Structure 1
């Protein structure tokens, strides 16, 4: 009868509990757990004090992910130390053939609690934190009751054969969990290496970006290969999907692949580098980031242009700072024929030389370019070393200074003059004939 089976089950559990409670090892394990709590609390307090005294200050240059992990571990150092102590005691007591079921349960619960707290501290997605919490507590409960191995065998008993690959729910769970951890670890390591590369003064900005992209891609590929090999999956089974991937690249992903390859070419040939001042079509600004698919160009007025890498390969690009950061500016103006052109050129060059941000090592020059209908036309050229600070503002300063200097020298700007001449005299009037009857 079912009720009889249930009664026998609960009776066996009660007898086992009575036997455990009456055993001296039960109280010994309980005492070890209490002692472990006290030691963990003392160690955690000491560790927090030592780290807060200056060790955290030395981690300022670490990547953000590593700093968050370190702070989360310090915040939950007591749970971590308690779980380690209980795990060590369980291993020692099991090796000595001494009962340690309570210590094993305490270690499992402490590990699950640590996993939940670390996930809540590091992950901002509430749904993902909830999933991790459920899985951690489920594994802890299965481990306490000794059902972890039977559950693992049950998940491994259902399988689907894909060629030589035996696909089971247990394999899928292992691959998903370990692949997520491996990619997360590779992201942290790549961020750390990226920080080191960007702080290197021996590398140009383009080489720094190229190395960071290669390192990030290599670490991701390595993480996937390690997880697949550890799970016992032969990577040759994925050759079946290579044809589908090739078709996808040929039809739908050609622009993405083209931008990726174009970005690698730009980083290798250094035609466009972070910090360059460029103009593409109507977009002009300073390159502040080079990504896999596009470059980010800051216009200086709050706008940021995202230009695909392929456009920098196929279109005309003006790089104002390709060989030299100095930029030549030109100001065109006119005067009337009453002015002395030699005096005009001398005043213009003096004004340009006295304007801030104009390079003195490259003297300004003024040329008379045309005798126009309304006056003489001049072209004033000069150089500045910081075009990223703006070019129109320098032109404006030069023109304002020219206006003041020309007024003092009685030099006038031309403007169109129209003359209307009226001739005196009466117009002939046609005779008027009256009609007669």
Structure 2
């Protein structure tokens, strides 16, 4: 990588600079190195406080400007302190030492420009941001080391790194290919992560795709993007992708026997998402669990019960078992409520009162019309059962039945409709 990047960013001969760099490093006194280290340390400390001050003022509204400052403020602080020391101390640093500092800073700036562009465009998460920033420093240090070898050309330095073999299990790598694979891996992962997030946001905001389709397509895109990214990284690292494919295939056969239930859940998840047999917001009953669907992933579906407890149901349970979906064609749900009245009470009046109460409830649908039936006559009791429909079962069922019962009890008292007395307990 260095043998292709460095010649395009340097405007002087490598051999000439390498000899000057070697002479400066050999001729510099310990005091000069100590002074350089002190300047670098003070510059970094000053950059920390400057960035801390800028973060308070730029993070909320000018986050991208702060990201640019985060990369370029530290080396600029070191350069300014170095220039200030030259202005104060006069001929303290030699010309060769000045060229070393200027080249090192130029290399760092050059490596940071694509890193800043990647971070601004793809917005990686914190671990990826830190990896990207560390990579710029390592690449600049590697370039500085390669250019400071007076007896070798850059190609010779890279060839020497390729000659250092590293054995990792079944694979044999060299130092250059391993370093190139790590560097490529950081860049590719940042791009893949940003691409996946961008595509996911576009699919979520799409008004033309059902939510289930959007989720299924996102999962397929995730697998596709990360597979391509892994292939690119392995190829740049010098690892034979065909050998890995053979190894993974053999491993997959063994794992497939033990993880077939997990694989079935993933496949079933895609089937459920594309068929839309279950959607977020539906009220379903599956595997003896009833609740409202709050989340769907490729592996499981989350059901929230009436008590607020969430259950994670594997997706294969939705394809292999019978699923009761109250919201399949619409959200209408029939509810019922019963009341026992005395056998001597006016049944017609009681039915009229209950129907009137149902029609006064805003959540009870007018069509289909609510109705009251004489469901049972036994032991001097008459059981009236009211049946009615609601269009918003997610807003609660027991609260509506409770409101209806309270109004019915009050109306029965006003019209002298007597409730049936409790049945006598059997002697034990």
Whether the TM-score (by the shorter chain) exceeds 0.5 is: yes
Tell me the residue number matched to 1:235: 241
**1:379 offset after TM fit, Å?**
1.7
CA RMSD of aligned residues (A): 4.3
Tell me the residue number matched to 2:221: 215
Contact 1:73–1:80 (8 Å) recurs in 2: no
With normalisation by structure 1, the TM-score equals: 0.68
Aligned in 2, Cα 1:185/1:139: closer, same or farther, shift over 3 Å? Answer: closer
Partner SS, residue 362 of structure 1:
coil
Provide, for residues 266-295 of structure 1, a one-character-per-residue CA deviation record: whole Å limited to 9, x for no partner. 101111111111223453322122112111
Provide, for residues 90-134 of structure 1, a one-character-per-residue CA deviation record: whole Å limited to 9, x for no partner. xxxxxxxxx975543112344678879x89x966569x95x7776
Partner SS, residue 285 of structure 1:
strand
**1:154 offset after TM fit, Å?**
3.8
The separation in 1 between residues aligned to 2:198 and 2:240, in whole angstroms, is 31
Contact 2:303–2:313 (8 Å) recurs in 1: yes
Structure 2 counterparts to residues 32-431 of structure 1, below 5 A: 70=64, 72-76=66-70, 78-79=72-73, 102-110=101-109, 124=126, 129=130, 136-146=136-146, 149=154, 152-159=158-165, 167-231=173-237, 233-299=239-305, 301-416=307-422, 418=424
**1:380 offset after TM fit, Å?**
0.9
The separation in 1 between residues aligned to 2:22 and 2:221, in whole angstroms, is 61
Aligned in 2, Cα 1:138/1:191: closer, same or farther, shift over 3 Å? Answer: closer
**1:135 offset after TM fit, Å?**
5.8
The separation in 1 between residues aligned to 2:133 and 2:69, in whole angstroms, is 18
Contact 1:82–1:110 (8 Å) recurs in 2: no
Aligned in 2, Cα 1:379/1:194: closer, same or farther, shift over 3 Å? Answer: same
Tell me the residue number matched to 1:434: none
The separation in 2 between residues aligned to 1:143 and 1:418, in whole angstroms, is 96
The separation in 2 between residues aligned to 1:107 and 1:419, in whole angstroms, is 95
Contact 1:249–1:257 (8 Å) recurs in 2: no
Contact 2:179–2:237 (8 Å) recurs in 1: no
Contact 1:80–1:111 (8 Å) recurs in 2: no
Bigger CA drift: 364-373 or 99-108?
A: 99-108
Contact 1:259–1:309 (8 Å) recurs in 2: yes
Contact 1:287–1:295 (8 Å) recurs in 2: yes
**1:313 offset after TM fit, Å?**
1.9
Structure 1 residues without counterparts, runs of 5 or longer: 1-9, 19-47, 57-66, 84-98, 421-437
Tell me the residue number matched to 2:50: none
Bigger CA drift: 170-179 or 396-405?
A: 170-179
Tell me the residue number matched to 1:30: none
**1:76 offset after TM fit, Å?**
2.9
Structure with bigger gyration radius? 1
The separation in 2 between residues aligned to 1:304 and 1:71, in whole angstroms, is 43
Structure 2 residues without counterparts, runs of 5 or longer: 1-20, 30-53, 78-97
How many residues are matched? 353
**1:376 offset after TM fit, Å?**
1.2
Contact 1:79–1:110 (8 Å) recurs in 2: no
Provide, for residues 298-340 of structure 1, a one-character-per-residue CA deviation record: whole Å limited to 9, x for no partner. 3364432221112222233221111101111111222111122
Relative contact order, higher structure (CA 8 A, sep 6+)? 2
Tell me the residue number matched to 2:82: none
The separation in 2 between residues aligned to 1:80 and 1:343, in whole angstroms, is 87
The separation in 1 between residues aligned to 2:369 and 2:125, in whole angstroms, is 59
Contact 1:374–1:416 (8 Å) recurs in 2: no
With normalisation by structure 2, the TM-score equals: 0.69
The separation in 2 between residues aligned to 1:244 and 1:110, in whole angstroms, is 46
**1:413 offset after TM fit, Å?**
1.8
Contact 1:336–1:375 (8 Å) recurs in 2: yes
